[in-house]
Structure 1
């Protein structure tokens, strides 16, 4: 194996990398140094003479040339911008994110020779670049340290202690004991036990799970296990169906939580366990993705991305959302992000009104639906799901100019979509939401952007 250090300029990657390599008895490599040696020109000159794209290409080539083991690697701050770089760096590696407050980073890099990337001041650029890249750093990292608070020697010691600790079977026993109490089949939790507590120790890239009550039906373990294998991520993804969220969070923390997919009924309650909530999740009022980086637990929402992406090519107009739960809130957020006027319709108008007041949109009961004035329809109710047959709209209430997106994905072809197809509408299956939200979740979990086509192939 090898250890890869990622993070912004000024975070201490070179200093800590050299110390760590000496401690491990390994070779130390800096990808910037590899680029300069290969290109025969300094990095500032590459930026000036050839431009940033040329440097990024040279950086990617340098990453691909790195030895697979026995080496500590310090990467450039922008290496994580290319998913292929992250995938190459993650394979067979423990990845460590070194960070510091923007003011510390700016002070450490002031007066440097690297050309600016924006027209902002040095301090403003440092803060802006760090903010943009932060989700990628967090996703790609197995360990995270704030080097503004910890001296280099302590960081090195904690990295080596972490590696030793992960080899101990005791690291996973509390978590496996908890899995035994859940409704998971013995065969399944024993498989998880083998991966977490086997002779090789805890997988390099940690533990992931979908949590909910119920969630044993979830296809997320099948999907992410396949994605991890395809993208070189050495992680374990399982599922935890249990009624008490505090018990779940205690168990996953004991085994070194890296990422959680959160489903019903925990999407709001899990927010209290997060140190930071992203702007989208805060606005929607729900978290479906949890990522841990060091001592910080970050809550995000990818449901709205799963709704927005399939609708991205639809011309802005008037959209109607049926429902008033968490999925409806994500749908309203996504539709407004696409520039659409939105009306929320629900049988209980008070619930629809709460969403409308929050997002500044219209509301009403299903009787207020006007097909001639509606361009986009999103079903965010469970109507049409297996075991809850029916439809929010009959065929005679649909028009050929409309786009109909049914968030129900079991079955893939609901009665609403059959009606919409018969009426000549553009139809979007609920599986597309699952594909695109999972794609974004994979990026937040690992820093790797899996192709939507690959996700669809796995799910077929």
Structure 2
């Protein structure tokens, strides 16, 4: 058994770790103590003589040495900011994030001889570093426990209950969960969760979402990284019902697809700046009973088009995917025009990002260096394309965000016209790379994602 405790200094990792190790009859591995052994000096002296970079390198070596270890592992406060550490800590382990309010943390660590990591006053440093590390903490964790008003014994009892499979659900909630899983056709998920209380669940929420390749990708990645996770589909016409079911499961993350990217936002506790600007969420991270919304679609557009920075771009469509595309193109300093079947929808989107707009019929190939298609037209089994080869010019880069099939009617038309083409699979790869990091804390490469999709 491998139990990992992460979190900021002063959240109780050492005290809780000792209790857990004793109760479980397991060795305790304190990464800071192991670093001091390797360095032959206390950590404050290590910082003074060699600096933080040297400390982080030793920390990485220590964490890697514990990759296959059994026991309770207590980590330093910044350990999970390095995705390589998260990969090693997560392998065949359960990760518990201990949290506490900034003021309580400051009180607990006051008087420590540890050097500061910033030039800020101590309490302000705590708040700043907590905010800076927030995504890393939430992503790396399976379970989040607030220790601010709990004793170490109380926090340890909660963790032991999780490890021993004690249900935190009332009988009524379990019946509701089972009824919803039956309605969704997910009886297999119920059996898996009941059989293995340590299993964490992720999924894609959409209607439809049967075409999605996310379950294939995620389940292969989970196996690759030795994670006790399962990814499924939540296909239902009501986003609120999906969210309710998710709260009744040991769920860590959701991918969100059409038509829920805007609708789910009203159910969330926090939304990041990118998702708020775009007005759509495609990624939800659960931790400590709170739901955090993100948007990674824009990166799936930005990264493949970085070589066309400053170009003239036309976005076809005015929905949630179009908003992510316009946002991405504007970060690349592109001159953007939005064209849609409903001009009023194009106008609404364009005015948000201060760009031009019009009807689909107004498309002129000579006015576009880049064309980004964001509508569902061309998605299997649809065989239509909004543009024909004669509409396009050779100098144009055509990016179709539809990825089923990999070669869409629009991609074929663009190839016939001699255009550079970018298939929707590239958007999927790059947005999934960032989404996996947000949900798990593990950084994967686009090459690994493509390999897993093959």
TM-score (norm 2): 0.91
SS of 2:452's partner is: helix
* CA deviation profile, 1:24-56 (whole Å, cap 9, x unmatched): 333322101101102212223333333333222
What's 1:414 paired with? Answer: 408
Match of 2:308 among 306, 314, 322: 314
Query: Quick one: which of 230, 243, 248 aligns to 2:242?
Result: 248
Over 3 Å counting, the alpha-carbon distance change for 1:217 and 1:390 in structure 2 is: closer
Instruction: Give the gaps of 5 or more residues in structure 2.
Output: none
Structure 2 CA distance for partners of 1:411 and 1:37, relative to 1, 3 Å: same
Q: Contact conserved, 1:352 with 1:363, CA < 8 A, in 2?
A: yes
1:376-434 per-residue CA deviation (whole Å, 9 max, x = no partner) reads 21101122222332323332332333322110112212232223333343211100111
User: Aligned pair in 2 of structure 1 residues 375, 49: CA closer, same or farther (>3 Å)?
Assistant: farther
1:212-265 per-position Cα deviation (integer Å, ceiling 9, x unaligned): 222222221111110100011111111122223333223222222211112222
Compute the RMSD of aligned alpha carbons. Answer: 2.5
Task: Tell me the distance in 1 between the aligned counterparts of 2:432 and 2:178.
Answer: 26
> Hey, what does 2:6 align to over in structure 1?
6
Judge which range, 168-177 or 267-276, deviates more: 168-177
| Cα pair distance change 1:89/1:121, threshold 3 Å | same
Q: Distance in 2 between matches of 1:407 and 1:223?
A: 18
Equivalences, count: 452
1:337-376 equivalences under 5 Å are 337-376=331-370
Do structure 1's residue 289 and structure 2's residue 283 form an aligned pair? yes
Q: Distance in 1 between matches of 2:110 and 2:310?
A: 45
Q: Structure 1 residue 265 and structure 2 residue 259: aligned?
A: yes
Would you say 1:402 and 2:396 are equivalent positions?
yes
Matched, 1:222 2:227: no
- SS of 2:23's equivalent in the other structure is helix
Quick check: 1:135 aligned with 2:124? no
Consecutive aligned runs of 4 or more in structure 1 exceeding 6 Å deviation? 167-173
Structure 2: distance between partners of 1:341 and 1:125 = 40
Aligned-pair CA distance for 1:194: 4.3
Q: Does 1:330 align with 2:324?
A: yes
**Contact kept in structure 2, 1:318 and 1:375, CA below 8 Å:** yes
Q: Which residue matches 1:235?
A: 229
- Is residue 30 from structure 1 mapped to residue 24 from structure 2 by the alignment? no
Q: Label 1:325 to 1:445 Cα distance change in 2 as closer, same or farther (>3 A).
A: same
Q: CA deviation at 1:68?
A: 4.5
User: Where do residues 134-283 of structure 1 align in structure 2 (5 Å cutoff)?
Assistant: 134-166=134-166, 175-182=177-184, 184=185, 189=186, 191-198=188-195, 201-204=196-199, 206-283=200-277
* Greater shift in the superposed pair: 329-338 or 122-131: 122-131
In the alignment, the residues of structure 2 paired with residue 432 and residue 48 of structure 1 have an alpha-carbon distance, to the nearest angstrom, of: 45
User: How far does residue 453 in structure 1 lie from its aligned partner after superposition?
Assistant: 1.2
Q: Distance in 2 between matches of 1:48 and 1:402?
A: 55
C-alpha contact 2:165 2:198 (8 A) present in aligned 1: no
